[in-house]
């Protein structure tokens, strides 16, 4: 057309406003004067410029429970790490010890709340994770909980239903007290414990599943008050979480038996007021229960799918989908960490955080695991950003890339078949 005019596409003077806008196409005959066309009226969405052929980047964030981790060993103090990582990775898989903060929690849409036993099975490719919109959550209360304390927990459940809309559908009291015991393992220094009546817990869970078809379980066990004095170091941001080890034992028991999401919250008498409380432990001091974060996490926790039972359903994530795993420097000896490190199908990038130390001594060097060592979680997330971009993280460091070296190939019948080059 002879009347066709050239329209200049100028950058918008409002870059913040331009982000996320779509391309607007206007017929030329509808524009009476191209000089009046504002430069921000025609623009392309930033999201449209992404590579839609890239698969989602998945990262696993692990801080073992009850091992005195410098970061993540207290009351949800690794949650800021998870929040930050979730802005870089497309999907983050973590566990209650990282994401639970007693009365506090933070909804992160692309973070999957996976119980520790299930995370180990996922890492070894025995289970897959199926994302959900909503779980029906059942609540198990220990018969050893006093009436006043039981009412407090039921009020939390009702509050989450009314104020957050969480699907907590029914509760049950165990037919006998669970009798929780906890102690420190003298061989490694981590907290652990047991319940004397595991049969009572399993009966209660089975009843909830059969009567209300719940597919996630929150457990509240009565913890002994006589051990409270031993928690003073923990309240001051030192030592280990004495409660965490047996909490893991309880949730592992339920997940292993029923293969559904489970998390635990301890019931305790209110602790004496402390004026010198460490901020990392403070989340457990601001209410009567530790239950809110558990109910929030379980409400959208992924379901566990046995990979040995045939073809997987849609929306499943497998161990081979994991691109990177972040752990404290001395915590590489767990089942999940070892399984990820030895994955033959798609070995993820293993990242060891030196600043986060525990009572363990399972370093990647000691176990023969290839890992990228970083000083802190700032660096860890930077490494993941580079890895996701397809950039060698070493190239971001001064002198990180050395001269490429040659590798001679073996000869066949006196002839060199080929020669390859590899970078150091």
Q: Which tens digit of pLDDT belongs to each residue from 328-342? A: 999 999 999 999 999
Separation between Cα atoms, residue 305 and residue 317, nearest integer Å: 10
> ∠416-421-422 over CA atoms, to 5°?
135
Q: Residue 143: is its pLDDT beyond 80?
A: yes
pLDDT, average across residues 142-150: 96
- Cβ-contact 71, 331 below 8 angstroms: no
- Position 130 scores a pLDDT of 95
- Cβ-contact 10, 43 below 8 angstroms: no
Compute and round to an integer the Cα radius of gyration of the chain.
26
- Cβ-contact 65, 245 below 8 angstroms: yes
- Cβ-contact 79, 97 below 8 angstroms: no
Order of all β-strands in the sheet with 316-317? 303-306, 127-130, 316-317
- Cβ-contact 353, 383 below 8 angstroms: no
pLDDT digits (tens, 9 = 90+) for 43-83: 333 334 446 667 899 999 999 999 999 999 998 999 999 99
- Position 282 scores a pLDDT of 85
Q: Residue 18: is its pLDDT beyond 50?
A: no
Separation between Cα atoms, residue 73 and residue 233, nearest integer Å: 12
- Position 276 scores a pLDDT of 79
Q: Which of 119-123, 146-150, 209-213, 398-402 has the lowest mean pLDDT?
A: 398-402
**Residue 5: pLDDT band by 50, 70, 90 thresholds?**
very low
- Position 146 scores a pLDDT of 96
**Residue 228: pLDDT band by 50, 70, 90 thresholds?**
low
pLDDT, average across residues 178-188: 92
- Position 51 scores a pLDDT of 61
User: Which is nearest to 216 in space by CA: 261, 248, 252?
Assistant: 261
Q: Residue 138: is its pLDDT beyond 60?
A: yes
- Mean pLDDT (the chain) is 85
pLDDT, average across residues 267-291: 85
């Amino acid at each position: 057309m002879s009347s066709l005019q050239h329209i200049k596409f100028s950058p918008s003077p409002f870059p913040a406003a331009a982000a996320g806008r779509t391309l607007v196409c206007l017929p030329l005959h509808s524009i009476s004067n191209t000089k009046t066309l504002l430069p921000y009226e025609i623009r392309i969405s930033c999201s449209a410029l992404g590579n839609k052929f890239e698969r989602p980047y998945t990262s696993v964030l692990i801080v073992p429970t009850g091992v005195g981790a410098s970061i993540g060993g207290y009351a949800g103090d690794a949650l800021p790490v998870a929040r930050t990582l979730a802005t870089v990775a497309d999907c983050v898989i973590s566990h209650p010890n990282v994401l639970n903060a007693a009365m506090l929690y933070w909804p992160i849409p692309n973070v999957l709340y996976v119980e520790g036993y299930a995370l180990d099975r996922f890492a070894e490719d025995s289970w897959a994770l199926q994302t959900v919109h909503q779980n029906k959550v059942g609540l198990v209360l220990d018969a050893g909980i006093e009436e006043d304390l039981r009412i407090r927990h039921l009020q939390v459940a009702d509050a989450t239903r009314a104020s957050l809309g969480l699907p907590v559908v029914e509760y049950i009291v165990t037919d006998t007290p669970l009798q929780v015991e906890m102690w420190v393992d003298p061989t490694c220094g981590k907290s652990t414990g047991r319940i004397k009546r595991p049969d009572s817990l399993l009966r209660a869970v089975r009843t909830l599943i059969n009567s209300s078809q719940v597919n996630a379980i929150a457990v509240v066990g009565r913890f002994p008050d006589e051990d409270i004095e031993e928690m003073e170091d923990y309240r001051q941001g030192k030592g280990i979480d004495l409660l965490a080890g047996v909490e893991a034992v309880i949730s592992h028991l339920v997940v292993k038996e029923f293969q559904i999401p489970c998390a635990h919250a301890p019931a305790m008498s209110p602790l004496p007021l402390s004026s010198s409380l460490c901020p990392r432990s403070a989340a457990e001091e601001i209410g009567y229960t530790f239950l809110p974060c558990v109910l929030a996490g379980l409400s959208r926790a992924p379901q566990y799918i046995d990979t040995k039972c045939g073809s997987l359903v849609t929306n499943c994530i497998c161990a081979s989908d994991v691109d990177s795993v972040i752990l404290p420097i001395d915590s590489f000896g767990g089942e999940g960490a070892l399984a990820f490190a030895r994955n033959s199908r798609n070995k993820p990038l293993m990242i060891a955080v030196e600043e986060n130390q525990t009572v363990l001594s399972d370093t990647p060097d000691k176990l023969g695991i290839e890992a990228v060592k970083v000083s802190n979680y700032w660096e860890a997330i930077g490494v993941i950003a580079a890895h996701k971009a397809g950039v060698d993280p070493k190239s971001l460091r001064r002198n990180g890339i050395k001269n490429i070296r040659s590798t001679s190939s073996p000869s066949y019948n006196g002839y060199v078949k080929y020669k390859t080059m590899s970078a150091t």
